[in-house]
């Protein structure tokens, strides 16, 4: 489990095929925190560290991506030199600065447009047909492993605002129009009825290839 707060931008050093695809990734994350067998988020995908080492004063680790993972994400088009958003797994007692991110990919997004708004950048994405019901204004979403808030939703598109700090600390500044990104829907918030105080929180949990939806109605009395 993760928070969507990126710790480092890793670079793909090497890709090997051994049944699955093995990705070797450089990182500035503390070497002691890279434990073989532990989980790490690479562009939002929960993967297992299978090897680690040091080369030319740089830390590196390796992860294995199965055919299923490659088909559900954009790792299948990741190349040597590609930059990946990295986050080590959340520990009990850690501060939850973003929102809970499980690392199970729900779909792929295509970047349609990006424009500068003040000092930030507005990224506009398409909405996959199977996920239209779960995307709502002011809901939380993880894109490439980054915890973000949905600004606006209109028919088949939605947008998110990326502040300069997030641009600098993630790979969003390198994303090109038409590029596929991984999306993890975790929490969305919808208004119901005329009372904007009443909201429905929809939490999506992946479980054995099935998706369970838990709906909670929260009422505030002021």
Q: How far apart are CA 117 and CA 47, in angstroms?
A: 35
CB-CB contact of 133 with 177 (8 Å):
no
Fold of 107-218: Elongation Factor Tu (Ef-tu); domain 3 (2.40.30)
Nearest to 204 by CA among 110, 130, 127, 102: 102
Task: Output Rg (C-alpha) for the chain, integer angstroms.
Answer: 18
Specify the pTM.
0.77
What six digits make up the tokens of 205? 């949990």
CB-CB contact of 22 with 33 (8 Å):
no
| pLDDT by 10s per residue, the chain, length 222 | 888 899 999 999 999 998 899 999 999 999 999 999 999 999 999 999 999 999 888 899 999 999 999 988 888 889 999 999 999 998 777 777 767 788 888 888 889 999 999 999 999 999 888 888 888 999 888 999 999 999 999 888 999 999 999 999 999 988 888 776 665 554 433 444 444 333 333 333 333 333 333 333 333 333
Matching fold, domains 8-88 and 107-218? yes
Domain boundaries, the chain: 8-88, 107-218
Q: What is the dotted CATH code of the domain comprising 8-88?
A: 2.40.30.20
What six digits make up the tokens of 122? 């507005």
């Amino acid at each position: 489990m993760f928070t969507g707060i990126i710790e480092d931008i890793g670079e793909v050093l090497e890709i090997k095929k051994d049944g699955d695809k093995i990705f070797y990734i450089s990182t500035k994350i503390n070497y002691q925190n890279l434990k073989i067998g532990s989980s790490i988020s690479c562009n939002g995908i929960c993967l297992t560290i299978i090897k680690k080492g040091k080369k030319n004063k740089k830390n590196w680790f390796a992860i294995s991506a199965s055919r299923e993972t490659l088909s559900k994400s954009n790792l299948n088009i990741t190349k040597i030199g590609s930059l990946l958003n990295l986050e080590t797994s959340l520990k009990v007692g850690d501060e939850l600065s973003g929102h809970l991110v499980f690392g199970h990919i729900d779909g792929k997004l295509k970047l349609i447009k990006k424009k500068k708004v003040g000092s930030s950048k507005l990224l506009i994405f398409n909405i996959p047909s199977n996920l239209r019901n779960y995307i709502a204004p002011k809901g939380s979403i993880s894109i490439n492993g980054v915890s973000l808030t949905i600004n606006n939703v209109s028919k088949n598109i939605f947008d998110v605002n990326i502040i300069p700090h997030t641009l600098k600390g993630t790979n969003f500044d390198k994303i090109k129009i038409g590029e596929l990104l991984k999306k993890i829907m975790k929490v969305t918030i919808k208004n119901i009825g005329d009372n904007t105080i009443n909201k429905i929180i929809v939490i999506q949990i992946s479980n054995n290839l099935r998706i369970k939806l838990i709906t909670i109605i929260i009422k505030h009395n002021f």
